[in-house]
Chains A and B, each alone.
Chain A
Amino acid sequence: MGDTTDIRKGAVIRHQNDLYVVTQFQFVNPGKGSAFTKTKMKSISTGKTIEITYKSSESVDTVQVQRQNMQYLYRTGDMYSFMNQDTYETIDVSSDLLEEDTQYLKEGLSVIALIHDGAVVAIDLPKKITYRVVEAPPAVKGDTASGNVTKEVVLDNGLKAQAPIFIKEGEDIIINTETGDYGGRATE
C-alpha cells in the first residue's frame, strides 16, 4: 500500500482486481476543499483507459514492478521490438501499450521496461532525447517581427517538432518527451 505521493507516470496500481499503469496524473488543490490527484491509467489486461481521482490522504495500492534496461531495435507493423540489455533477449511490445510514445522511438534508444509477472506493462522513455535535424526550412525575414519565433523541423526518426528559427539542418537538438517541446541544442 502506498499513498498519492507514489503516483507518477509508469507507476502500477491495483484497482478493483485489475492492474493499471499510470499514463498521466495531475495534482490539484482547490484550496477550499482537500487536495487530490487526478490520474489517467490504463488497464494491463484490457488496455482500457480509466480516470480516477484520489484524495490526498487516500491510500493507493501501488504494485512493485521490475525495471529493466532495454534498447529499441525496430518496428514491424504494430509491434515494436526491444532488446533486454542484460540477457540480449528480444521482446515485442504493441503500439497499444506505447500509445503516442512511439513517435519518440529511434533505433538504438535506451529505455526502461516495467515488468510485472514476466510481462512488459509499460515503457519508460528518457525525459530528454537527442535527435538530428534532417529538415529545417530556412528562417524567413520578418518571422520574429510577426511573433513567429519557432518553426517546424523534421528529425532523424521522422518526428516533427517546433524549434527556434536559428536551428539548421544537421544540428542535434534535445526534445522533452513529456511535453514534446524543444529543450535546447545538444552540446555533446
Chain B
Amino acid sequence: MQFVINEEIQNTILSLTKDLMDHVNSIKKKKEVLIQRAKIIRLIREFFWEKNFLDVETPNLVALPGQEPHLSPIKLVIHDEKGKSYDAYLHTSPEYTLKKMLAAGFENIFSITKCFRDYESFGGLHNPEFTIAEWYRAHADFWAIMDDVTSLYTHLQTVFNALPVVHTKKIHMRDLWRETIGVDLGRYLNRDAMLNLCKTRGYHPLSDEPYEDVFYRIFLNDIEPKIKDYGSVIIHHYPAPMAALARLSEKDLGYAERFEWYVNGIELANAFSELTDAGEQQKRLEDEQQTRKKLGKMVYPIDTEFIDAVGNMPESAGIALGIDRLIQVILSCKNIDDVLVLPVSGIY
C-alpha cells in the first residue's frame, strides 16, 4: 500500500519543523551567553560553599504560597494514585521553607531555585519562571547580608575581568532622598505626611492609598531614574510601614531593617533582618490577606506552620537575589530573554 501524506499533514509537519528550528536556532544564538550563565551560577555556589553555607533544595510545589498582595502564584491540581485531587501552587520564593529550616536548627543555608509568578510580562525584566538565589544567616542581621552581597559582586566581577571593578556603595534611604530630591524623609514617615508631600509634588494619589503606594509614586518617578548614576548600590533602612517581613530598627526609629540592591538602576535583590515575632507575623499576613481580597487576587489560608517557624527561628537575616537579572547585568544583556534557554516569550 502506498503511504500518502495529504497536504494538510504535510503543512503541519513543515510548521512543526519550522518551530523546532526556531527554538534550536534561538538557543544556538545564545550559546556563549548560556555558557557564561552556567559559569556565574557555579561561581555563586562555590562562593557560598567556601563560606560554609549548606546548599539546600526546597519544594517548588507547595500547599500554601506566600501572601504578598502583589504576587500571583500559579495554581495547579495534583492527584494521588487513587485519583484524589489536591490544590497545589508553585512557590513564588523559597522563603517559607527556608525559614522552617532555620527553625529546625539549620544556620547558614542557601538555595538556588526556580520560582514562578503569574501575571508578569513575558520578557523585559520578567519571565513567569525565573531563578532566585536566596540565603539566610542565623544569629546575624542585615549588615552581614550586605557584606555577602558586596563581596559576591566583587568576586564575580574579578573573575569576569571587569575593568574597573565597581565597588558597591551603601546608602541610607533617608540620605538617598536628600541627595536626589532634597527632601528630608524623616518628616514623611507616616501616611498623611507622605500623602501631602505627594500632592505638593504634583501627583494625584487616591485618599485611601496605603503608605507604600504613595511612597512609590515619588520614589519611582523622581528617585529611581537617578539610581542608575549610583552604579552598584545598596539602599538600606526602609520606612517602617514598608517593613514587609523585616524587623523594625531599634536604633533608627521609624525605619525597618530592609535593603534593596540595585545595579545600573535595575533592582536585583531584597533583604531583611527577619521578623521573629510570630504574633506580629500573623498580623501582617492577615493584613496582606485582606489586601489580596480587596485587589481581587486569589485568596488562600495563612500557613500556620510558617507562623510557628517564625516564632521558633533564631535572630536571622536573609535575602532573595534575582539570578537572571544578575547575569543580565554581568553580561550586559538588556532583556531577560537573552539569558534564558527558552523564555516564555519564545514558546507562546
Contacts of A53 in B (CB 8 A): 220-221, 224
- Cβ distance B258 to chain A, nearest Cβ, rounded Å: 8
A51 within 8 A of B: yes
Residues of A within 8 A of B (CB-CB), count: 23
Please report the C-alpha to C-alpha distance between residue A52 and residue B225 in the assembled complex, in whole angstroms: 10
For the A-B complex, the count of residue pairs with Cβ-Cβ distances under 8 Å equals 67
A28 within 8 A of B: yes
B101 within 8 A of A: no
What residues make up the interface of A, taking CB atoms closer than 8 Å to B? 26-36, 38, 51-53, 55, 57, 147, 149, 164, 179, 182, 184
B244 within 8 A of A: yes
B32 within 8 A of A: yes
Contacts of A31 in B (CB 8 A): 68, 70-71, 92-93, 117, 270
Q: With A31-B68, A149-B31 as known contacts, state yes or no: A26 contacts B125, CB within 8 Å.
A: yes
Please report the C-alpha to C-alpha distance between residue A17 and residue B334 in the assembled complex, in whole angstroms: 33
Tell me the B203-225 residues at the A interface (CB within 8 Å).
212-213, 216-217, 220-221, 224-225
- Cβ distance A188 to chain B, nearest Cβ, rounded Å: 12
- Cβ distance A173 to chain B, nearest Cβ, rounded Å: 12
Please report the C-alpha to C-alpha distance between residue A78 and residue B34 in the assembled complex, in whole angstroms: 42
Contacts of B22 in A (CB 8 A): 184
Contacts of A34 in B (CB 8 A): 69-70, 212-213, 216
Residues of B within 8 A of A (CB-CB), count: 33
Q: With A33-B213, A36-B220, A164-B29 as known contacts, state yes or no: A27 contacts B70, CB within 8 Å.
A: no
Docked-complex contact A55 and B70, CB < 8 angstroms: no
- Cβ distance A4 to chain B, nearest Cβ, rounded Å: 11
B126 within 8 A of A: yes
Contacts of A51 in B (CB 8 A): 221, 225
Docked-complex contact A27 and B270, CB < 8 angstroms: no
In the complex, residue of chain B having the shortest beta-carbon distance to the beta carbon of A182: B29
Q: Mark B291-302, 1 if CB is under 8 A from A, else 0.
A: 000010000000
Q: Pick the residue among A27, A32, A55 that contacts B126 (CB under 8 A).
A: A27
Docked-complex contact B70 and A29, CB < 8 angstroms: yes
B120 within 8 A of A: yes
Docked-complex contact A27 and B121, CB < 8 angstroms: yes
Q: With A36-B216, A55-B217 as known contacts, state yes or no: A30 contacts B267, CB within 8 Å.
A: yes
